[in-house]
Amino acid sequence: MKTTTTLGKLSRYLTKQPLRLIAVLLLTVAASGLTLFGPYLTGAALDRYIIPGRYAGLLQLCLLLLGIYLLGSLVSWLQSYILADISQRTVWSLRRDLFRHLQRLPIPFFAGKSHGELMSRTTNDIDNIANSLNQSLVQIISSIIMLGGSLTMMLLLNGWLTLIALITAPLITLFAKTVARRTGAQFKAQQQELGKLNGFIEETVSGHRVVSLFNQEQRIAEQFSETNSRLKKSGIRAQIFSGMMGPFMNMFSHITYLLIAVAGGWLALRDLTTVGVIVSFLGYSRQFSDPLNEVANQYNMIQAGVAGAERVFEVMDVPSEYEGEESLPSLRPINGKVEFREVGFQYDTGKEILKHISFTANPGDTIALVGPTGAGKTTIVNVLGRFFDINSGQILIDDTDIRTVNKNSLRKQLSLVLQDAHLFSGSIRDNIRYGRLEATDEEVELAAVQAYAHPFISRLPQGYETELSAEGGNLSQGQMQLITIARAILADRALLILDEATSSVDTLAEIQIQKAIRQLISGRTSFVIAHRLSTIRHADRILYIQDGRIAEQGTHEQLILHKGLYHELLNSGSGLDENVEQLLG
């Protein structure tokens, strides 16, 4: 993304506060104007009072000069106060829009990004933008005004000295452009490496048990050191290039100052100018070069802010999965009939995952999906929820093609219980209520009763008000799964997907979960992906998926009599477990 494009997008956020920006601009002009008075009055004091030896009016002029500097300081403080408000409002809006946009991005986007790297964009990158706005925005505005004002005053004082002051301008411009080209790339690389490091930290912290179990602490530490070293190297390169700006700009400033002093002294000796004019001119030449030096000294902050903005807008430019959906009608409340007609699907890799999938689920039916890993079972339920859009064929709900209605209304008809039970920080009550936010406390507790979660919740010290640690770490896996089932019961939606909902729990926990699942699927059209016989035996139809096709379908009894792939799977002991079914009776 080009820097000009990034700055243009950032400016649209800034211009949402026009009155504050106008106030900052006016205050900056006032502060710069007051500052420009200083050198003129200093020169006037020399020519009118000090050199002639007339001191009668000197005190008044010095008091005026003091008043100007005090007023300038007050105006600068007020300007900084308003700017801080502008910058924080800007990054608040930017962070809000980025987070909202992340919630609307398609599933494939997240599959290609680590969570820590995305978190880095919402924290580190936006912090860099905030710092850049706070420290550099006024400096840039003030520098432009000071450059113009100082140049004007220098021209009014002496045209020849002004030409001398501008001798180094082409060198400064060339040097700044060269450094800017190199530094921008280095700061972008630094932010990318920082995002990778955050992603690595997030993965290793969340997977700490696995790391410890397999004694991989040393290898993880080595990998961290490698990533950290890359960040260090990119940071050093960025700081070295940006750090060149300040010293070189100071050198050019000192050379210019020396040339003006020598030329001014030569002119004064020949009575072509006065000492006061030279002193004033030197002050203005300093005010002409100081803004450039200030911008140069903050150049690394500016580049870090631009690099951060590029990474933020890179995410915000990814099209939302709801883009273009506004014009589509909403799906009306449904009975639950689902029909797949010759459905074909492939990911971006080009490999065909689903091939001519056709079946019908009537309202209230339970459809079990079994088959080897990678056969396409999870893909079938993903395309049903339009987390991915199919490449060919049709999926109809109550005879309505799901591509003709907006995704949001479709997903409001769908509940999902996954293998990994995900809970949020907060109370158990809040986690169950996540299924339907307007539910009363009584409805939440009734859903827990129906999910067989009420007994263990009641035994907790704070009951439903028990605060859960990160991802429910103070509950067992089975208890967490019962809470997610209670959440799905409370949502009360016509379509239900169970994706390996019992695969990560022990047999005793599964007994409770199976009872809850039977309560959950009652009266709903359900799609169940499972490897355990206890989960799928009572399904109205079992679809055996192999290599993206329906290889067999029928009831449990029909497929056993058929003695095909399902029968082989059952007898192979590769996951279909009858023990729980016997316990359930």
Higher pLDDT pick, 391 / 133 = 391
Ranking 192-206, 228-242, 294-308, 571-585 by mean pLDDT, the lowest is: 571-585
Contacts with 244 (C-beta within 8 Å, 6 or more apart), sequence order: 179
Cβ count within 10 A of residue 186? 22
User: What pLDDT sits at residue 506?
Assistant: 56
- Give 464's DSSP letter: G
| Angle, helices 58-103/3-14, rounded to nearest 10 degrees | 100
What is the mean pLDDT of the segment spanning 516-529? 85
Whose CA is closest to 75, among 130, 38, 40, 33? 33
Q: Which two tokens stand for residue 57?
A: 């009016």
Residue-wise pLDDT for 452-510, tens only, equals 889 889 998 889 998 886 565 678 888 888 888 888 889 888 899 888 766 555 556 66
The pLDDT value given to residue 213? 58
Pairing of strands 400-401, 392-397: antiparallel
- Give the per-residue pLDDT at 210: 65
Assign 51 to helix, strand or coil.
Answer: coil
- The predicted pLDDT at position 373 comes to 83
**Is the model more confident about 239 or about 566?**
566
Q: Quote the CA–CA distance of 575 and 571 in Å, as a whole number.
A: 10
Mean pLDDT of 177-182: 70
For residue 358, give the H/E element and its range.
Answer: strand 352-361
Decide if 524 contacts 496 (C-beta within 8 A).
yes
User: In which band, very low, low, confident or very high, does the pLDDT at 582 lie, cut at 50, 70 and 90?
Assistant: very low
287, pLDDT greater than 60: yes
Residue 200 half-sphere exposure toward CB, CA atoms < 13 A: 17
Residue-wise DSSP of 316-335: HTSPPTTTT-TTSPPPPP--
- For the ranges 141-150, 171-180, 226-235, the lowest mean pLDDT is seen at 171-180
Per-residue pLDDT tens over the stretch 69-110: 899 889 888 888 888 888 888 888 998 998 888 888 887 787
Whether the pTM exceeds 0.85: the reply is no
Q: How far apart are CA 72 and CA 63, in angstroms?
A: 14
- Using a 10 angstrom Cβ sphere, with 0-12 exposed, 13-18 middle and 19 or more buried, the burial of residue 93 is middle
The three-state secondary structure class of 215 is coil
Q: How would you label 345-361 residue by residue, b for 16+ Cβ within 10 Å and e otherwise?
A: bbeeeeebbbbebeeeb
Q: Which pLDDT band, with edges at 50, 70 and 90, does 43 fall under?
A: confident
pLDDT above 90 (res 192): no
The first and second tokens of residue 447, run together, are 């859903």
From the DSSP assignment, how many helices (H) and strands (E) are in the chain?
25, 12
| Bridge partners, 354 (sequence order) | 345
> How does 258-290 read in b/e, with b if 16+ C-beta sit within 10 Å?
ebbeebbeebeeeeebbebbbbbbbbbbbbbbb
Domain residue extents for the chain: 3-316
Cβ atoms 468, 431 nearer than 8 A: yes
Collapsed DSSP state (helix, strand, coil) of residue 336: coil
pLDDT tens per residue across span 334-358 = 999 999 999 999 887 678 899 999 9
- What are 8-39's pLDDT values in tens digits? 888 888 888 889 888 888 888 888 788 877 77
- Give the mean pLDDT of the chain: 81
Give the number of C-alpha atoms closer than 13 A to the C-alpha of residue 177, restricted to the C-beta side: 6
pLDDT at 440: 93
Q: Are 547 and 375 in contact (CB under 8 A)?
A: yes
DSSP 224-272: HHHHHHHHHHHHHHHHHHHHTHHHHHHHHHHHHHHHHHHHHHHHHHTTS
Q: What backbone phi and psi angles, to 5 degrees, belong to 163?
A: -60, -40
d(CA 121, CA 314): 10
* Domain 3-316 class in CATH: mainly alpha
Of the candidate ranges 78-82, 174-178, 304-308, the one whose mean pLDDT is the lowest: 174-178
Q: What is residue 363's DSSP assignment?
A: T
Residue 546, beta-bridge partner list: 549
What is the secondary structure of 103-135 as a DSSP string? Answer: HTS-HHHHHTS-HHHHHHIIIIIHHHHHHHIII
Strand intervals (E) in 362-494: 366-370, 392-397, 400-401, 414-417, 426-427, 467-468
At residue 429, the pLDDT reads 92
Please name which of 303, 307, 304, 309 lies closest in space to residue 10, comparing C-alpha atoms: 309
Dihedral sign, Cα of residue 109, residue 113, residue 115, residue 119 = negative
| pLDDT value, residue 31 | 83
**pLDDT tens-place string over residues 264-274:** 888 888 877 78
pLDDT attached to residue 473: 60
Residue 550: what pLDDT? 94
Predicted pLDDT of residue 103:
85
Measure the CA–CA gap between 555 and 566, rounded to whole angstroms. 11
Residue 580: per-residue pLDDT: 38
How far apart, in Å, do the first and last CA atoms of the chain sit? 63
Pairing of strands 400-401, 366-370: unpaired
- The torsion region of residue 317 among left (phi > 0), alpha (psi -120 to 50) and beta comes to alpha
Q: What string of DSSP letters covers 470-531? A: GGGTTS-HHHHHHHHHHHHHHH--SEEEEESTTTTS-HHHHHHHHHHHHHHHTTSEEEEE-S
C-alpha to C-alpha distance for 570 and 576, rounded to whole angstroms? 6
Cα separation, 195 vs 174, whole angstroms: 32
Give the rounded percent of residues in the chain with a pLDDT score beyond 90: 15
Q: Kindly give, in sequence order, each residue whose CB lies less than 8 Å from that of residue 354, ignoring residues fewer than 6 positions away.
A: 343, 344, 345, 346, 376, 379, 380, 383, 390, 548
